[in-house]
Structure 1
């Protein structure tokens, strides 16, 4: 690991200070700081930071920090980005970073008339909202527009909802928008009667969108015993499956979020909000479908597009309180929230491409299980000096299991001590080995199981 850090430092991606932080581990969150972030803190949990390589987005190179525990995601992303890089990289567009605040009004005597009044006097409401955050306005943001929606209620009548459209610039903006919604509540009531009830932002951020696109020549898709046209057509067909079948679409989109969430975590953004927006957007037509579109271009090339909400931030107390987040943002080198959103859009499309390419060629498990073997080897107690040997033999067996890894660890250790580990010749020993097996016991609940031990599977 230290060699990787040294290399990115030597190539100018890391400052001297950040290099020392990574080498020493000083960047990790300390308990006393964690205790100030949330309630009832008892410790700090760590996750790996990997680097997505080869990303070329809008003509600029990026090294992308990824915080994720699942093996193969980082490798698959880097491989996909390398393919797209050879085809001029990702082209990504983003809209203004607008967040929606909602003000719910109940009991308005004439909802349709109230809607007209609010729209007629919206400048008063926008001015009031912006007076609450003059610094955001000075940075070019603030409340930009207002909408009014009427929703039919089950018991009759209409519910009136004001949408405040706020450009939050480089901030995530949740607190800012909530403050604005609360600040205009009294004026809304005085204008139309009725009573303001809920005042809260919406996490369906469909006014802050990214569109990522890549175009890959068919010859750039060839490999692993498959020609490029075969891979292209397979990806198009697999994407069609996700477009028409919600069961497949969920897994398809989950793969996209493997990459997006990893960048969100690394950059300190609210990955839960990003997830919620993505899945709501995928169901915007009344049926859950794929977030991506893959199709054959006019010249026979593979064209991929991803459209999704992406409201993120790069400034704010919650981001600056974690030294690792600040380091990751410096390493990524984005200058605005829109630029971060564009990189995340490219990552989502790259992750989708890598998954579909694997599915239509060698299958998703081949590469994943090879990398999963590394985690299993660690769990089985493989030390640094035997780690690579254990992983290699574990993959060769095709059984990526902890019990198998433990057998291999013991075997390698015996070999290192010069102890014979030849085939069993005793008939009785062979019978004894056949008579025992690795299983699980469910003790008190379906998740209370003991793995990797000789046991009887009991109901």
Structure 2
């Protein structure tokens, strides 16, 4: 019997066919992934202003993920070489030891309402808190469907800023459980609804009414534990690789210059899933980096240690405000197919997947960086882009890329020189 090819060894049509056979995806989903019936000009024109067309990015499938006992193939949209391969490799290492465990908080988001020109800050605070239940009832009436699904208003908090560059301010925090949505529209609508009443009871003037992207009430976490035998490489024992990963992670713990790059690598994986599912990657990025800097100095989002039994233990925690309903998640055909491929049942589950991908990405990067170096694998993939930039097409792309790697000089001028002789 012929050996089954690995996913990366297949052609694009073969990969799509395997995806279809391994999942509940239909032919229409395959066409959305391939671009045949993806985002159209008509849809784009209704999504943003002044649309002139669509801009495509590659979508790949990360393999080998097992999260909370569930095997997953994870769609990732990204232009950078080696990210999908790294995520798949990191997930493979974790799967050898049982996979990821992940959890996430309830999908609670914060809406901020700014008030200025308040005659008496303390009295205004007292007035608001005395009417908290009434205000929350007003919010609940804005979206009864959300309430029926188990969501809706959770709390109302008051923050006073007696001194700011623009004078005294009072900021209300409306905490809303947004269920399976990202939540921006629900929160902004609720803030608009209560603004006139807040003005009346405080004597102030309402200014900003907007969601906060520091979603620190909506954290997602992932963990893994890897036996050193699973980390063995050609020139390194598993124990040596483990120690090197811990040392590399410690570098990020103490140095903000390294921590920024460490976290950027994590976000390579997370952002790619956020984009694939039609979510707001700018919001996720902003929240993640703010969370990493919450004590005044940027810290790594992930942590790696060696436990008493000699195993590598990794963990990650960060805000992840991503939804599976509303916005582009329902409008973009590719985003719909991506969610369907993962069979995601809630926004909490999607956040857990994203956190796991970030941890897998980080593991693969630290393993490569601390042993053979990041360039060995990355530059092989980068060589293909250089080959295409030099003008190579068809089979010559792989030929030229191979020669560039062999020469050890992966530059556009060298690529053009070699291409003349192919």
**For the superposition of Structure 1 and Structure 2, which TM-score range results when normalised by the shorter chain?**
over 0.9
Residue of 7, 17, 37 corresponding to 1:6: 17
**TM-superposed deviation, 1:233:** 1.6
**TM-superposed deviation, 1:303:** 0.7
- State the partner residue of 1:142: 152
Residue of 164, 168, 171 corresponding to 1:161: 171
Kept after mapping to 2: 8 A contact 1:224/1:361: no
Residue of 115, 126, 133 corresponding to 1:116: 126
- What are the superposed Cα offsets for residues 25-48 of structure 1, whole Å, 9 maximum, x if unpaired? 333222222122111222211100
- State the partner residue of 2:183: 173
**Relative to structure 2, which stretch is displaced further, 178-187 or 276-285?**
178-187
- State the partner residue of 2:407: 397
CA distance in 2, matches of 1:70, 1:107: 49
Size of the aligned set, in residue pairs, is: 411
**TM-superposed deviation, 1:158:** 4.3
Q: Tell whether 2:35 aligns with 1:34.
A: no
Question: 1:184 is paired with a residue of what secondary structure?
Answer: helix
Q: Tell whether 2:46 aligns with 1:15.
A: no
Residue of 364, 375, 378 corresponding to 1:365: 375
**TM-superposed deviation, 1:156:** 9.7
- State the partner residue of 2:244: 234
Residue of 206, 228, 233 corresponding to 1:218: 228
Q: Tell whether 2:124 aligns with 1:126.
A: no
- What are the superposed Cα offsets for residues 331-382 of structure 1, whole Å, 9 maximum, x if unpaired? 1211111111110000011111111111100111111101101111222232
- State the partner residue of 2:258: 248
**Relative to structure 2, which stretch is displaced further, 204-213 or 389-398?**
389-398
CA distance in 2, matches of 1:155, 1:12: 56
- What are the superposed Cα offsets for residues 132-158 of structure 1, whole Å, 9 maximum, x if unpaired? 111111111111111111224146974
Structure possessing the higher relative contact order (Cα contacts under 8 Å, 6 or more residues apart): 2
Q: Flag the 1:162–1:382 CA change in 2: closer, same or farther, 3 A.
A: same
Residue of 294, 315, 323 corresponding to 1:313: 323
**Relative to structure 2, which stretch is displaced further, 388-397 or 272-281?**
388-397
**TM-superposed deviation, 1:235:** 1.5
Q: Tell whether 2:151 aligns with 1:151.
A: no
- Where structure 2 has 5 or more consecutive residues not aligned to the other structure, the ranges are 1-11
- Where structure 1 has 5 or more consecutive residues not aligned to the other structure, the ranges are 413-459
TM-score normalised by structure 2 residue count: 0.94
Residue of 106, 121, 142 corresponding to 2:116: 106
Kept after mapping to 1: 8 A contact 2:111/2:173: yes
CA distance in 1, matches of 2:79, 2:165: 48
- What are the superposed Cα offsets for residues 390-416 of structure 1, whole Å, 9 maximum, x if unpaired? 22211101111122222222222xxxx
Residue of 327, 331, 335 corresponding to 1:325: 335
CA distance in 2, matches of 1:36, 1:278: 30
Question: 1:89 is paired with a residue of what secondary structure?
Answer: coil
Kept after mapping to 1: 8 A contact 2:328/2:335: no
**Relative to structure 2, which stretch is displaced further, 338-347 or 328-337?**
328-337
CA distance in 2, matches of 1:323, 1:19: 10
Q: How does 1:49-60 map to 2 (within 5 A)?
A: 49-60=59-70
CA distance in 2, matches of 1:250, 1:263: 20
The two structures, once aligned, show a CA RMSD in angstroms of 1.6
Higher Rg = 1
TM-score normalised by structure 1 residue count: 0.86
CA distance in 1, matches of 2:183, 2:294: 24
Q: Tell whether 2:104 aligns with 1:90.
A: no
Q: Flag the 1:195–1:386 CA change in 2: closer, same or farther, 3 A.
A: closer
Question: 2:103 is paired with a residue of what secondary structure?
Answer: strand
- State the partner residue of 1:204: 214
